[in-house]
A and B are shown apart, each in its own frame.
Chain A
Amino acid sequence: MSAAVNDPAAGLRSRRIGDAVFAGMSRWAGALILIVLAAVAIFLVAQALPALIQGTDEGESFLAYVLPLAFGTVWAAALALAMAIPVAVGIALFISHYAPRRLAAGLGYVIDLLAAVPSVVFGLWGIQVLAPATVPLADWLTANLGWIPLFAGPASGTGRTMLTVAIVLAVMILPIMTAMCREVFLQTPRLNEEAALALGATQWEMITMSVLPYGRPGIVSAAMLGLGRALGETMAVAMVLSPATVISFALVTTQNPATIASNIALNFPEAHGLGVNTLIATGLVLFVITLAVNALARWYVNRRTVSA
């Protein structure tokens, strides 16, 4: 009767059952993500194939159709990123190293709150507030800096331009980037900071010597996360831009390239037949672009950590 109680292996065995259950569950969770990814990829490729082979239903090749869209997607996201990175790093540094502790905590909450604003709200704000507000700026830019291709005229009278889209996207990706940068900056080893201060570094010199080098992989990860979000953003872009089929770097004209995601959102309801395949194929292109961006970021971050 006491065999089961006294047998030490019994206790061990029951613990191993628990172990096996959790190991199995986590293994399944891990496998699930691969299955979902594979399912999405297969769906995209299968549905995209007709369009890839036959071209669009208007007879042009798929490449000619998708190129302006892909360009618009990358261009809008890159512009947004260029605006958001300095601001995000600046806010994060202010919170982590300059602000008094109580203000820093409050500001952190506000940033997190900004991340919770739905993108459709940002879209509305872009149309109603930001677009009209950029019109005088656009007029000034085309009048005074028009010789730079970026600011070539004629300026749009509505303000529904690439510039407005880029600003809206920058505001949208700012919170997540700021939050990530702040976390990384706060983790800078105190010893590294003190090493710089003890050499007679000012606060800013200390930041450039210890905080930013330590945080660089984190900044890159944050930027890629923001870029990924900007690439895939649909509603805000679809609401603000009135798209044209062009490849143009100009920021403030009426001729603006659409993005892949907004193009799908605007055209999918009326699409049929080969048109559906064409739109799905553009989705595949977006998928590939996003994947490439993430892979690039991974590679960069890993390279840094190995060498450091």
Chain B
Amino acid sequence: MSKRIQVNDLNVFYSQFKAVEGVNMVIEPRSVTAFIGPSGCGKSTFLRTLNRMHEVIPGARVEGEVLVDGNDLYGPGVDPVLVRRQVGMVFQRPNPFPTMSIRDNVLAGVKLNNRRQSKSEQDDLVEKSLRGANLWNEVKDRLNLPGSGLSGGQQQRLCIARAIAVSPDVLLMDEPCSALDPISTLAIEDLIEELKTEYTIVIVTHNMQQASRVSEKTAFFNIAGTGQPGKLIEYADTAKIFSNPDVQATEDYVSGRFG
């Protein structure tokens, strides 16, 4: 299920503006990789190129390759819709479909794939996904109520359940805890720990303790100044990044001596 991601010489542009420059990276399967760096350094933009979600913004394009188990996501004839079905995403703010019930939210992606399922198969999938997102016990009695009635942390776990219901190869998380309180954050972090046994997880975070708690490898992104492209400064084992990084800028950032 989980796959290896290889990024070769990736540049990302918004029309004429070069947002990210020259990223090379290998992300191992069944691991958690964290992206850290100051705001505007291109880490979210880069994350979105891993499932072609950056294309939602008009004028966005990339140069270079993103290989998922050897298949280039940007090869000729590759449909971004199919890419996104293999590479799931969880967003900064919880975004369950407001008019759908909890159950329908979990099944939303599966229904898109036009897989015909019996009701009992659907029930099993809903339970499995919600259990996988540590949400089952809290919502099993109200599966037919709208997802918007849940707390923020529960909504975010519902979004994770929705993403894993389609059995993606990779799970991208764009600051998944930034809108949550510490207790809900802990619940999500525990969940990430469990999910990495099955999925390749990439997480963008502003919280460096979070990066050091959940990830095996960490990538530090930075920009030279406004209007400059973001670059990958250092990519190494998380323990190394937070104890003795090779680059001075990384050390300054993780130790809070940034700027």
Seen from chain A, the residues whose Cβ lies within 8 Å of a Cβ on chain B are: 101, 189, 191-202, 205, 209-210, 213-214, 216, 307-308
**How distant is the Cα of A191 from the Cα of B156 in the complex, in angstroms?**
13
In angstroms, how far is the closest chain B Cβ from the Cβ of A60?
50
In angstroms, how far is the closest chain A Cβ from the Cβ of B51?
7
Seen from chain B, the residues whose Cβ lies within 8 Å of a Cβ on chain A are: 51, 53, 56, 58, 81-85, 88-89, 91, 93, 95-100, 108-109, 112-113, 146, 148, 159, 162-163, 166
Can you list 6 contacts pairing A with B, beta carbon distance less than 8 Å?
A194-B56, A195-B91, A196-B108, A198-B84, A198-B88, A199-B88
A200 to B56, Cβ gap below 8 A?
no
Chain A residues with CB below 8 A from B97, complex form = 192, 195-196, 209-210, 213
Chain B residues with CB below 8 A from A209, complex form = 97, 108, 112
Cβ-neighbour of B85 out of A193, A195, A199, A213 (below 8 A): A199
Given the known A-B contacts A191-B91, A307-B146, are A198 and B108 also in contact in the complex, defined by CB atoms under 8 Å? no
The 8 closest A-B pairs by CB, nearest first: A200-B85, A199-B109, A198-B89, A191-B95, A213-B99, A200-B84, A195-B95, A202-B81
Chain B residues with CB below 8 A from A194, complex form = 53, 56, 89, 91, 95
Given the known A-B contacts A200-B109, A205-B112, A209-B108, are A192 and B98 also in contact in the complex, defined by CB atoms under 8 Å? yes
Seed contacts A194-B95, A197-B53, A202-B81; 16 additional CB < 8 Å A-B pairs: A189-B95, A193-B56, A194-B56, A194-B89, A194-B91, A195-B96, A195-B97, A198-B53, A198-B88, A199-B84, A199-B108, A199-B163, A200-B82, A200-B84, A200-B113, A209-B112
Given the known A-B contacts A213-B99, A307-B146, A308-B146, are A195 and B81 also in contact in the complex, defined by CB atoms under 8 Å? no
| Chain B residue with Cβ nearest A212 | B99
**How distant is the Cα of A201 from the Cα of B109 in the complex, in angstroms?**
8
**How distant is the Cα of A196 from the Cα of B81 in the complex, in angstroms?**
11
**How distant is the Cα of A277 from the Cα of B56 in the complex, in angstroms?**
62
| Chain A residue with Cβ nearest B96 | A195
A101 to B98, Cβ gap below 8 A?
no
**How distant is the Cα of A258 from the Cα of B159 in the complex, in angstroms?**
55
In angstroms, how far is the closest chain B Cβ from the Cβ of A146?
41
In angstroms, how far is the closest chain B Cβ from the Cβ of A209?
6
Chain A residues with CB below 8 A from B95, complex form = 189, 191-192, 194-195
**How distant is the Cα of A213 from the Cα of B84 in the complex, in angstroms?**
22
**How distant is the Cα of A214 from the Cα of B113 in the complex, in angstroms?**
22
| Chain A residue with Cβ nearest B99 | A213
